[in-house]
A and B are shown apart, each in its own frame.
Chain A
């Protein structure tokens, strides 16, 4: 099921303006992403945790998400310590572990998790609908916003369509397996989903034409920027600048 699990809530961050949250998250994420010292990665991780607490994200789904996010870092922990090189090589039993490799893996793990928490606490606490409006206010092309909102609007419907097809295949004794027959069936299910989506898109388009659609879709302003939003933005700008340029002065 496709759903916005973090979008509902009434924390301070949930109520903040989506446009402000997107800019703040982008600035923070960039300042952490480009940093190459362990201190910055650590600071980013702490900021992520603080924001997640501020947004009162529910811990169980968040933990599950963090697990998926860390699948790639796991791959790094497996490969980098063995191949990282560098002078300081620790010998652990029969294996030689590169300290440079371990440091790089740690750095990336902290950064990845920190930025993920920031993105979840800031933009992901708004609904996709609200974010679309926010992006419109950030002057992104209207066509792109329309694409985003419509894609999201029909996501669950098309997912249900696919599931219906999958169920009827199951009723006809289709079992998923590694075989040409199974792959052909999946191919046909996807093909049918595409055909139905296309047919639906023609109907939607005609229905919109009947309502005077000329490429513009009026978006009602859901929110106005409040003083609190500007404080949030200011705080994030200061933190991001400190992370990005602080090391130059220290």
Chain B
């Protein structure tokens, strides 16, 4: 889900950068000192989870799990994702420095969006809990892919076919992320339900 360096145009890079800075600032402001460690360790856990390759038909895909990040961390998912993406750029060369802002928006905006859309559904025990989790996982990848496609087409309209191809190629990943998010939430609901009620960010 990363865009590499050297692909996007200046307006897109600048727009992504500014949006990412604002989002990260909001997220940071809402994490109080008692929750820095929780955010950091959950951020490392998601970094590790994103390295897992899950078999899918003849090949395998790696997880993104930004829907789950959004559900657990809310607004705090923006700085958490920003941190993880910066580390990935540095350690693995995924993404990069000038596209960091755009990549943060692509991954974190859907996380925050699904936390607002499906957060209350996932937090309430019952039948709708698992449906909410599935929709959050699927919806986050769908939104991320749309944002990615938008960034590509906004740069150059000849990317239209590439963007459409990406959208189709991500369909299996969307279903997979929905399922995995569902299973993670069902596990957490059974084993440690208070993790789903985590309030890292103050509501101020």
**CB–CB A147/B188 < 8 A:** no
Within 8 A of B (CB), among A186-211: 186-188, 190-195, 197-198, 200-202, 204-205, 208
Bound together, the chains give a CA A112 to CA B165 distance in angstroms of 21
Binary interface profile of A, 163-200, with partner B (CB < 8 Å = 1, else 0)?
Answer: 00000000000001110101110111011111101101
**CB–CB B48/A202 < 8 A:** no
User: Which residues from A are CB-within-8-Å of B82?
Assistant: 144
**CB–CB A80/B162 < 8 A:** yes
**CB–CB B36/A194 < 8 A:** no
Given A29-B98, A100-B158, A114-B6: A186 touches B183 (CB 8 Å cut-off): yes
The one of A82, A162, A176, A190 that contacts B184, using a Cβ cutoff of 8 Å: A190
Q: How many A-B residue pairs have CB under 8 A?
A: 237
User: Which residues from A are CB-within-8-Å of B42?
Assistant: 194, 197-198, 201
**Does B54 interact with chain A (Cβ within 8 Å)?**
yes
**CB–CB A116/B5 < 8 A:** yes
User: Which residues from B are CB-within-8-Å of A183?
Assistant: 54, 176, 179-180, 183
Within 8 A of B (CB), among A73-106: 73, 75-76, 79-80, 82-85, 100-101, 104
User: Which residues from A are CB-within-8-Å of B89?
Assistant: 119
Within 8 A of B (CB), among A18-65: 22, 25-26, 29-30, 32-34, 41, 44, 65
Consensus secondary structure, chain B interface: helix
**CB–CB B180/A116 < 8 A:** no
- Interface range on chain A (Cβ under 8 Å from partner): 35 or more
A contacts, CB < 8 Å to B:
2-4, 22, 25-26, 29-30, 32-34, 41, 44, 65, 68-69, 72-73, 75-76, 79-80, 82-85, 100-101, 104, 108, 110-116, 119-120, 123-124, 128, 131, 141, 143-144, 146-148, 150-152, 154-155, 157-159, 162, 176-178, 180, 182-184, 186-188, 190-195, 197-198, 200-202, 204-205, 208, 213-215
